[in-house]
Structure 1
Amino acid sequence: MSFDVYRLPDEYNELREAIRALADNKIAPYASDVDDRSRFPVEAYDALRAADFHAPHIAEQYDGAGADALATCIVIEEVARACASSSLIPAVNKLGTMPLILGGSDEVKQRYLPPVARGEAMFSYGLSEREAGSDTASMRTRAIADGDEWVLTGQKSWITNAGASRYYTVLAVTDPDGPRGRNITAFVVEDGDEGFTYGEPERKLGIKGSPTRELLFDNVRLGDDRRVGPVGDGLKLALRTLDHTRVTIGAQAVGIAQGALDHAVAYVKERRQFGKAIADFQGIQFMLADMAMTLEASRQLVYTAAAKSERNDPDLPFFGAAAKCHASDAAMRITTDAVQLLGGYGYVKDYPLERMMRDAKITQIYEGTNQVQRIVMARHLLTG
């Protein structure tokens, strides 16, 4: 029996070294300022584009790097270790383009994937609404057919990188009288489309460098060439997308937690109380051991889910939900414990732990709350 299956191939470790060096040198130095000023991390975007890490998942045939799901997770993880806001550049580029990859026509893919792959544009995802969060099928945004065009009205809430992205996958009801959940269609909306505007930036607890705004549609006319997938298949396509991209949120959570653990370990080795480093106290050691153990369990679950995403395994919905849920819960615990280990220093902005703790919280909420993830897992178990 060979045990090589339990070891990452060298190319993944080399990728990790490359993206970690980039993140440490060109992203981490700006993370505090990005958070303080709630500004888009342009330094990270430029560095990621220069190294072809901004949208690594896009296939080579569309001018992309052709990274598989695991490699993409490693990129997101290592960027999140330095700056969670910056990790949403590759993560949301995947989220926005995944409906096209899964269900778009060749024409739609050829039109929109290459500009993102080349770093000329970013791509966001519009599913949630003010009154349709977890209950996505109750959305009120409408796209009504008018000849060979669609007229889009309504709004989308909590849209990551809104205003920074050029393209948006937007889900809208196309048959108001049709069966619930089978009357929704996906479209691409472009920045600059007449009638398409943005709400004011949200004032958030964390990930402050990633702009979050509403998308507002006032009779936006879209040609049928903007449609993604068959009419009525939009919600199915949206949920399939989330099966894949929840894995990337798990990777983001792992990265945030790893960054917090790294800082905590370095601190307790230097901080002295009662005549010795606090790392010598057993209580501190037990906390570190639990943090590292939980983190490594999350990482392995995320990597397993990433492999299932790449193969499109039938149990991906369970593993995608499990990876996102476990890793984000772990990130919240680990960052909280890291703040505790630094004591008063953990609570001030001179150290990055309070930022990491604030950033970790959103991973339990977006792309489906962790309560919803548990529903997904339970339904998968109960239906066999």
Structure 2
Amino acid sequence: MTTTNQADTLIGAVAALIKTDLAPITSAVDQEGRYPIEFLRKLAGAGGFAAAVPKAHGGLALGLGPQIDVISEVGRECGSTAFLAWCQSTCALYLLGSPNEAVRTRYLRAVATGERLAGTGMSNTVKHLAGIENIHLKARRQADGYVVSGSLPWVSNVGDSHLAIVAASVEGGGYVMFAAHGDAAGVSLHPCPDFAGLAGTQTLNIRMKDVRIPNEDVLAHPEQFPAYMAGIKPAFVLGQLGMGFGVIDGSLRIIRESNVAGAHVNQFLDDQGDALANEAAALKASARRLAAQADEGGAALIDVLRLRLAASELTLRAANSAVLHAGAKGYLMRHPAQRRLREAVFVAIVTPALKHLRKEIHALEQAAAEAQAA
């Protein structure tokens, strides 16, 4: 079976699972904050977190493109669950990219296969490195590892039995990235304030007080961290495209359904379904190209950031258009258009947020112009 056929088979299995196990609970995930752990386990069984992981580590070895497609397929039904799929699959890629064999051996297969669920708490670090906010976790280096203290306000897909992959600044300079156990001594998990959406994503406040992190749980030591972050960032950002594409596709479905009876008046709205679909197709083609480059370690970061920005902007337009096409019905909390609008806003504010993307793109463009002038 060719790689393309294998990818099609994977997406088919995921689509079937969504129909039977996710669609019936989507409203509960959104409105009641239900954490869809049963679906996540079944998605893991179908290979939904392991498309880009080598077979030697329990993966399917299909590449980042099919992993984005899995997240997109989930997002067509539920943006919250697509975010969870991104969290889990991205943690697997963090581990895959680590230069430290011990942590890969310890966790990669378990995370890729869903045996161990995991959340990525890198938002604060990524924003810190972009000059947006201070880093919240602090570490002291010791011979056998690190001692970490601090707190992270929002980390998703975490719990007592989960891993959280996070980073801290190290006393004396540099950063360390590591896996922390939700039930480790010194780790406490606390509820967050109510969100407008994404309540079913098991998003918690993580507090650490003198938490001991052994070297076996370190993904990148300070001397490894800069090269490691440069290596994982393209996949980190590209994987989020699946959330946006899923919300766009879900919004287009609402537009089509609304036009069955309302096309005669909906035709006067600015963003029409066919035009939005064409724009989405172009972005998806770019995503496939950049994902293939990222698999080979050659994706240009500025191209990745520009695509992520364009996807955020189109997701907002598509979801807004879906509400307008639905009319008064789209203002009801139970209508999917209302949920899509909140999910689209999340795509635009989750790190890297729309404003963060523009800041980083500006900095890269300015640096390139200065280099050329020199």
- Calculate the TM-score normalised by the size of structure 2: 0.88
CA contact 1:174–1:232 (8 Å) conserved in 2:
no
Matches within 5 A, 1:62-211: 62-129=57-124, 135=131, 138-163=134-159, 166-176=162-172, 178=173, 183-211=174-202
Q: CA deviation at 1:222?
A: 1.7
Distance 1:145 1:248 in 2: 32
Which residue in the other structure is 2:288 paired with? Answer: 303
CA contact 1:247–1:302 (8 Å) conserved in 2:
yes
Distance 2:205 2:216 in 1: 24
Which residue in the other structure is 2:242 paired with? Answer: 251
- 2:311 partner letter: A
| Structure 2 unaligned residues grouped into runs of 5+ | 369-374
SS of alignment partner, residue 348 of structure 2: coil
Distance 2:327 2:83 in 1: 29
Distance 2:213 2:168 in 1: 12
Which residue in the other structure is 2:371 paired with? Answer: none
Distance 1:286 1:321 in 2: 24
Distance 2:84 2:271 in 1: 35
Matched, 1:323 2:307: yes
Distance 2:132 2:217 in 1: 21
**Alpha-carbon spacing, 1:128–1:117, altered in 2? closer, same or farther (3 Å):** closer
Distance 1:16 1:303 in 2: 15
Distance 1:140 1:281 in 2: 48
| Correspondent of 2:351 among 367, 371, 374 | 367
What are the superposed Cα offsets for residues 277-298 of structure 1, whole Å, 9 maximum, x if unpaired? 5358642596223322332232
Which residue in the other structure is 1:344 paired with? Answer: 328
| Correspondent of 1:224 among 189, 202, 215 | 215
Distance 2:270 2:349 in 1: 30
Which residue in the other structure is 1:213 paired with? Answer: 204
CA contact 2:98–2:104 (8 Å) conserved in 1:
no
CA contact 1:30–1:43 (8 Å) conserved in 2:
no
**Alpha-carbon spacing, 1:365–1:164, altered in 2? closer, same or farther (3 Å):** farther
CA contact 1:41–1:85 (8 Å) conserved in 2:
no
Distance 2:334 2:205 in 1: 32
Distance 2:264 2:290 in 1: 34
Distance 2:211 2:160 in 1: 19
CA contact 2:82–2:242 (8 Å) conserved in 1:
no
| Structure 1 unaligned residues grouped into runs of 5+ | 1-7, 272-276
**Alpha-carbon spacing, 1:132–1:250, altered in 2? closer, same or farther (3 Å):** closer
- 2:11 partner letter: R
CA contact 1:56–1:66 (8 Å) conserved in 2:
yes
SS of alignment partner, residue 368 of structure 1: coil
| Correspondent of 2:47 among 52, 62, 76 | 52
CA contact 1:63–1:114 (8 Å) conserved in 2:
yes
CA contact 1:242–1:367 (8 Å) conserved in 2:
no
| Correspondent of 1:278 among 248, 263, 266 | 263
What are the superposed Cα offsets for residues 272-315 of structure 1, whole Å, 9 maximum, x if unpaired? xxxxx535864259622332233223222322222222122151
- 2:347 partner letter: T
Distance 1:360 1:164 in 2: 29
- Calculate the TM-score normalised by the size of structure 1: 0.86
**Alpha-carbon spacing, 1:117–1:288, altered in 2? closer, same or farther (3 Å):** closer
Identity of matched residues, % = 20
SS of alignment partner, residue 101 of structure 1: helix
Distance 1:303 1:314 in 2: 11
Which residue in the other structure is 2:319 paired with? Answer: 335
What are the superposed Cα offsets for residues 225-280 of structure 1, whole Å, 9 maximum, x if unpaired? 222223343355345423212111112101111011112202211x2xxxxx5358
Which residue in the other structure is 1:274 paired with? Answer: none
What are the superposed Cα offsets for residues 109-159 of structure 1, whole Å, 9 maximum, x if unpaired? 011111112321112222344996553683142111234232111112321
What is the alpha-carbon root mean square deviation over aligned residues?
Answer: 2.6
Q: CA deviation at 1:216?
A: 0.7
